[in-house]
Amino acid sequence: MKLVLLGPPGAGKGTQAVKIAEKYQIPHISTGDIFRKNVKEGTPLGVEAKKYMDKGALVPDELVVALVNDRLAQEDCRGGFLLDGFPRTVFQAEELDKFLKGEGKALTAVVDLRVDEDELLERMIGRRVCRSCGAPYHVKNMPPKKEGVCDHCGGEVYQRADDTEETVKNRFLVYKEQTMPLVAYYEKAGCLLPIEGTGGPERVFGAIVEALGQ
């Protein structure tokens, strides 16, 4: 299966991506995670990406496209993949189409998670994540057993620099202006699967599996 996970920031893409990748045994490719890893390691890509990420802006298309093309060319993506957080612009979507076409492939489906904006804001501002293993938490809905400590690996649970209220608002604007057009793009391509993203992670996951039909 060659899948794209689409949806506004805070829609639960990361949570669903882990489940989908596990069920269908495909690599989970999160451009946000790749950038965060590079920022943490202080690589040239990380230093460049951080300038944009801290403001809630998108990293320039050329950087992201080259990164994803490299990743998709790796052996483990032959049987399929799940892209989480990519594409985020029409240009990126067109480049992805070109890349896949060059390999004689096409996307199986684009899962579009839909959540009301007020709920998204509350989800994101309360969002916390483990610095070591990336496990997601929420101050109200899903706090770690011990404050600030990951239940799974004992790592530090922190708030991403781009989950503060000001940055979150900017990320929504960026989503509306640059990423929302992808809904129409994939609708036209006939591979869009709209999924209601509320009612708990298990319900949402069930709806995704049902929509994928396998």
Residues taking part in catalysis:
13, 88, 127, 160, 171
Taking the complex as a whole, how short is the minimal distance between the CB of residue 41 and ligand AMP, in angstroms?
A: 15
Smallest gap from Cβ 184 to ligand AMP, in A, equals: 18
Q: Is 127 in the site for ligand AMP (CB under 6 A)?
A: no
> Which residue, 54 or 210, is less far from ligand AMP as judged by CB?
54
Q: Is 175 in the site for ligand AMP (CB under 6 A)?
A: no
**Residue 26 in tokens:** 């495909």
Q: Is 171 one of the binding residues for ligand AMP (CB under 6 A)?
A: yes
Q: Which burial class, exposed, middle or buried, applies to 56 when counting CB atoms under 10 A from its CB (0-12, 13-18, 19+)? A: buried
Site string for ligand AMP, 83-112 (x = CB under 6 A): --xxxx---x--------------------
Distance CA(202)–CA(14), nearest Å, equals 13
Angle value at C-alpha 151, between 16 and 25, nearest 5 degrees = 35
Token pair of 132, please? 């070591």
Q: Which residue is nearest to ligand AMP (CB)?
A: 32
In angstroms, rounded to a whole number, what is the distance separating the alpha carbons of residues 145 and 36? 25
Q: Which two tokens stand for residue 44?
A: 């040239």
List, as own/partner pairs, every contact residues 96-101 make where C-beta atoms lie below 8 angstroms and the sequence separation is at least 24, other chains included. Answer: 96/4, 96/65, 96/68, 99/68, 99/69, 99/72, 100/2
Q: Which residues between 28 and 57 bind ligand AMP (CB under 6 A)?
A: 31-32, 35, 52-53, 56-57
Q: How far is the CB of 203 from ligand AMP (least distance, A)?
A: 22
Per CB under 6 A, residues contacting ligand AMP are: 9, 31-32, 35, 52-53, 56-59, 64, 85-88, 92, 162, 171
